[in-house]
């Protein structure tokens, strides 16, 4: 941990009691700040408040009182999910009070080698693969943190100058991380996500580009080269560009040619040996390989990781095989693009479980994928009628169910040996579940109940 005095004697407000917010509050006390912690909700677990107060932190819960804007805070550390049009946040913006996220605080105290990953899809898998690859050859600590569910600042506290940290960073986190400066930055892809938060696609892209904003020619931006738009986005960085591509050969980075992965013209391994399924996971592997090779990782270490790693939970996760049916949990597929790439990963008939929060989307884009890959569909949630309409358009049998749990036995009744039963909802979970993680966990529990087996 780097010793800094930036917060010594400063008055700091921490907004949000998530894992990152709680860790940030305690860290700020160590850094000499006078800390107030605020959450709009009242925690069900009193231990959270007790622990904060025991550290000398003033705690305010049950509201974001606008009066806090008049208390002279020097800095606000905001939970990334709190929008900037929140009345209290908007008041601080108007006052030009610095507003940062915990990722910025983590960067300020980090004293090692930083690799950071962002993108619309594939962030967690790429982050995990990158950390595993670098760790295979490392003589020092290699950890991961960030949007992957582990506090950046908490891990950064325990790392020294020779250690490496691989961080997954969302657009929400990056928007409040003005000085972050990874030596290697990865952009997996950029689609049109979170426009309810960012308002415009350009705002969303600009937030993502904060990952490379402070990089120089001595740093590296690893970026997907499979779309013209992403190639143009790369031109906005001052870093040395390292492309990765499943579709376009580029000797400056990692790419696929005739079923073989190459790094700058040298063979690494066949794509068929990657344990993760689907073209999106080839792309994730290519991104991780580029970062790993830039970090001095050997081909043998890369092969070891890619031939054994079976996936991140809820992200096209293999659950089990039962009576010659394969079960996959892809609850993280909360948009159309993610379900498109999931379906392309299978060469077996798929019984698709899909549906969820109605955000006003229609699903005609999925019709060609339904025609090619889907044997039958079980639909649920607010948008089930729209999803059913797309299935009918594709000529696929569709039945309705209550949710992702009740859909499991329905899918089993429709299945035959050789089929894949896939939860890939193409929609957010919030109409029926508090998060995609809970939705995926409940799906797995339903599969375990059906089969009498535990996930593998």
Residues 296-343 have pLDDT tens digits of: 999 999 999 999 998 888 988 889 999 999 999 999 999 898 899 899
pTM to 2 decimal places: 0.83
Return the closest-CA partner of residue 254 out of 212, 219, 222: 222
Containing domain of residue 334, as a range? 317-450
**CA–CA gap between residue 342 and residue 281 (Å, rounded):** 9
pLDDT surpassing 80 at residue 456: no
446 in the same domain as 431: yes
pLDDT 10s digits, 189-240: 998 778 888 889 999 999 999 999 999 999 999 999 999 999 999 999 999 9
43 pLDDT higher than 90 = no
CA–CA separation, 280 and 268 (whole Å): 18
Number of domains present in the structure of the chain: 3
Q: What local confidence, expressed as pLDDT, does residue 311 receive? A: 82
Is residue 22 predicted with pLDDT exceeding 90?
Answer: yes
pLDDT reading at 377 higher than 80 = yes
| Both tokens assigned to 167 | 């961080």
Q: What's the CATH number where 199 sits?
A: 3.40.1190.10
Please indicate, yes or no, whether residues 108 and 128 belong to a single structural domain of this protein: yes
Residue 37's pLDDT is what?
Answer: 98
Instruction: Tell me what the mean pLDDT of segment 124-133 comes to.
Output: 96
Same domain as 270, residue 138:
yes
Last residue of a domain, one of 100, 118, 136: 100
Same domain, 142 and 291: yes
The mean pLDDT value for 436-455 works out to: 96
Position 1 in a domain: no
Q: Where among 308, 328, 346 does a domain terminate?
A: 308
Higher pLDDT, 379 or 455: 379
Task: For residue 30, tell me if it sits in a domain.
Answer: yes
* Cα–Cα distance list, 357 to 101, 177, 313, 339 (Å): 27, 30, 21, 15
Give the per-residue pLDDT at 61.
Answer: 96
Mean pLDDT in residue range 52-63: 97
Residue 136 near residue 304 (C-beta atoms within 8 A)? yes
Domain-embedded: residue 3: no
Give the mean model confidence (pLDDT) for residues 412-430.
97
- Identify whether residues 117 and 224 lie together within a single domain: yes
* pLDDT for res 404: 97
Is residue 3's pLDDT more than 80? yes
How many other CB atoms are found less than 10 A from the CB of residue 38? 23
Residue 250 included in any domain: yes
pLDDT reading at 85 higher than 90: yes
Confidence of residue 419 (pLDDT cuts 50, 70, 90): very high
Q: Which residues belong to the annotated binding site for ATP?
A: 119-125
Q: Which of 36-45, 75-84, 123-132, 201-210 has the lowest mean pLDDT?
A: 36-45
Structure confidence at residue 17 (pLDDT): 92
Residues 94 and 221 in one domain: no
- For residue 45, is pLDDT > 90? no
Q: Are residues 158 and 251 in the same domain?
A: yes
Q: Which of 308, 331, 346 is the last residue of a domain?
A: 308
What mean pLDDT comes out for the span 417-445?
A: 97
- How would residue 172 be classed by pLDDT, with cut points 50, 70 and 90? very high
What is the model's pLDDT at position 57?
98
Say what the pLDDT of residue 197 is: 87
Biggest CA–CA distance in the chain, Å, is 67
Same domain, 295 and 422: no
State residue 280's pLDDT score: 87
CA-based nearest residue to 107, from 39, 173, 15, 204: 173
455 part of a folded domain? no
- Asked if 322 contacts 453 with a C-beta cutoff of 8 angstroms, the reply is yes
Looking at the structure, tell me whether residues 91 and 112 fall in a common domain. Answer: no
Instruction: Return the pLDDT at 310.
Output: 81
Q: Is residue 4 part of a domain?
A: no
pLDDT of residue 186: 98
DSSP assignment letter at 345:
T
Q: Is 310 helix (H, G, I), strand (E, B) or coil?
A: coil
Q: Is the pLDDT of residue 118 over 80?
A: yes
- 329 and 292 inside one domain: no
282 pLDDT band (50/70/90 cuts)? very high
Name the range with the highest mean pLDDT among 35-44, 205-214, 276-285, 353-362: 205-214
Specify the pLDDT at position 203.
94
For 198, the token pair is 């960012």
Regarding whether 354 and 299 lie in a shared domain, the answer is no
Average pLDDT over residues 243-254: 93
Q: CATH code at 431?
A: 3.90.190.20
Which of these, 331, 314, 311, 313, lies nearest to 407 by C-alpha position?
331
Query: Does 158 map to a domain?
Result: yes
Looking at the domain assignment, is residue 456 inside a domain? no
- d(CA 354, CA 381) in angstroms, rounded, equals 9
49 and 126 housed in the same domain: no
**Is residue 44 predicted with pLDDT exceeding 90?**
no
pLDDT at position 250, please?
83
User: Can you say which residues are annotated as belonging to the binding site?
Assistant: 119-125
pLDDT (average), residues 134-163: 95
């Amino acid at each position: 941990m780097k010793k800094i005095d930036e917060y010594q004697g400063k008055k700091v407000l921490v907004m949000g009691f998530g894992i990152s917010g709680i860790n940030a509050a305690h860290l700020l006390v160590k850094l000499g700040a006078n800390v107030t912690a605020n959450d709009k909700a009242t925690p069900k677990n009193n231990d959270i408040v007790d622990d904060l107060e025991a550290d000398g932190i003033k705690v305010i819960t049950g509201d974001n009182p606008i009066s806090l804007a008049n208390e002279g805070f020097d800095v606000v550390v905001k939970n990334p999910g709190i929008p900037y049009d929140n009345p209290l946040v908007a008041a601080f913006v108007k006052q030009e009070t610095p507003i940062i996220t915990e990722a910025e605080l983590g960067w300020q105290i980090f004293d090692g080698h930083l690799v950071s990953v962002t993108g619309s899809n594939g962030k967690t898998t790429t982050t995990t693969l990158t950390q595993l690859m670098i760790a295979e050859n490392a003589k020092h600590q290699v950890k991961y943190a960030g949007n992957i569910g582990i506090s950046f600042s908490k891990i950064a506290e325990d790392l020294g100058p020779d250690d490496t940290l691989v961080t997954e960073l969302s657009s929400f986190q990056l928007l409040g991380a003005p000085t972050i400066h990874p030596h290697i930055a990865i952009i997996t892809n950029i689609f049109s996500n979170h426009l309810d938060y960012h308002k415009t696609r350009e705002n969303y892209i600009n937030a993502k580009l904060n990952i490379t904003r402070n990089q120089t020619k001595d740093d590296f931006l690893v970026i997907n080269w499979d779309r013209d738009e992403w190639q143009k986005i790369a031109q906005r960085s001052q870093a040395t560009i390292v492309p990765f591509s499943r579709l376009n050969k580029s000797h400056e980075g990692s790419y696929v040619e005739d079923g073989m992965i190459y790094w700058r013209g040298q063979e690494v391994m066949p794509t068929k040996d990657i344990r993760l399924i689907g073209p999106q996971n080839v792309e994730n592997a290519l991104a991780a390989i580029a970062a790993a090779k830039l970090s001095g990782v050997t081909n043998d270490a890369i092969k070891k990781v890619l031939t054994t790693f079976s996936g991140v939970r809820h992200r096209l996760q293999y659950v089990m095989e039962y009576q010659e049916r394969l079960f996959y949990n892809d609850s993280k597929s909360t948009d159309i693009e993610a379900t498109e790439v999931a379906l392309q990963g299978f060469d077996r008939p798929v019984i698709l479980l899909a549906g969820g929060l109605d955000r006003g989307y229609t699903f005609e884009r999925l019709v060609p994928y339904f025609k090619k890959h889907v044997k039958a569909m079980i639909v649920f949630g607010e948008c089930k009628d729209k999803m059913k309409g797309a299935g009918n358009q594709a000529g696929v049998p569709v039945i309705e169910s209550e949710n992702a749990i009740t859909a499991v036995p329905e899918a089993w009744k429709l299945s035959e040996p050789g089929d894949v039963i896939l939860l890939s909802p193409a929609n957010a979970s919030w109409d029926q579940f508090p998060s995609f993680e809970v939705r995926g966990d409940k799906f797995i529990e339903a599969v375990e109940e059906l089969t009498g087996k535990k996930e593998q």
